[in-house]
Amino acid sequence: MNLTMKETAAKLKAAEKILVTAHIHPDGDAIGSTLSMWLALRQLGKSAQIYLDDVIPTNLLFLPHVDAIKRPTADEKFDADLLVVLDTSTDRIGKVAAMTDAPILNIDHHVTNSNKDDNDLYLEHDAAATCEIMLALCHELGVEVTKEIATCIYTGIVTDTGFFNYSCTTSKTFHAAAELVDLGVEPNYISEQIEKRTLADVKVMSAALQTMQLYFDGKVAGMFIDAEIEKMADTTEGLVDLIRVINTVEIAFILRYQDEKTCRASLRSKGMDVSKIAKSLGGGGHIRAAGCTLHTNFDDAKNILLKTLGEYFKA
């Protein structure tokens, strides 16, 4: 059922023990929204815990209370009366899905969220980030937006908008950012932290660029993080943007090995709807930024992705 902001706040206020999560392969918006939700719930006197089924990228470890995020272990359960799923549809939360049978409250901004399981859903697809929704939700809940909450929210907004460069950025986004700065956010500090890379990350960047290939008369560029490069990698965030800037390229993608039967693809475009491509492969996202998980070996995943891209261009 689709909820209003007021109904969403009421669901949160009615719950007492809340499990908070977001999508696998979490980015700034996923982590920022879960942390700001956790801080807001604690302010309301709720018992809350964040579980994410993945590692936190090192350039986001600066966020306040990031050490409160736990990763589920095998067969672990959590006694909750509400599961809050942020920044994704409910089928992309990994092992967290098996931790509780609690009712689900889904808060998201991705246009591909079809809510096929008919959970309680607050969807604002014209929001630049789930963290933009979180700011409005804090106000609806009557929560004080402290500097810690504001820092988490601002981080989610700037990472999902590419520091206000992407087309999802609106005047509402800038108003939200201005409010957060007035609340104590330090944009220079956050940008410095997000842009930090380890030596290993830089080596991965170099290795990944060596794998770049062009397809379909230069309209598509791809990079391939195979098992060997994956061993070096902490994060691949931002890599795909290195090849998206090529003047002939309309769609850029990065394919990343996870294990022998799992690969992840991230797609970016300058205008074409890559969410349709990702959704056809079981993923989702935005018109110009989307992703999916392919449950097969690396070579087959590469062939499947290229075939799908080829069919998209033919259509």
- Structural domains of the chain sorted by starting position, each given as residue range(s) with its CATH number in brackets: 5-194 (3.90.1640.10), 199-314 (3.10.310.30)
Q: How many CB atoms lie within 10 A of CB 23?
A: 28
pLDDT digits (tens, 9 = 90+) for 121-162: 999 999 999 999 999 999 999 999 999 999 999 999 999 999
Structure tokens at 179: 């409010």
* Confidence class for position 78, pLDDT limits 50, 70, 90: very high
Q: Which of 265-268's residues contact partners 24+ apart within 8 Å by CB, and which partners?
A: 265/291, 265/292, 265/293, 265/294, 265/301, 265/305, 266/236, 266/240, 266/290, 266/291, 267/240, 267/291, 268/240, 268/241, 268/244
Q: What is the pLDDT of residues 190-246, one digit of tens each?
A: 999 999 888 888 888 999 999 999 999 999 999 999 999 988 876 777 789 899 999
Please state the rounded mean pLDDT for residues 182-193.
97
The answer to whether 221 and 239 are in contact (CB under 8 A) is no
Q: Using an 8 Å Cβ cutoff, are 107 and 8 in contact?
A: yes
What pLDDT score was predicted for residue 286? Answer: 83
CA dist 200 and 186 (Å) reads 27
pTM score: 0.89
Residue with tokens 């929560």: 143
Residue bearing tokens 């700034």:
28
Q: At CA 51, angle to CA 49 and CA 56, rounded to 5?
A: 125
Give strand pairing partners of 107.
86, 122
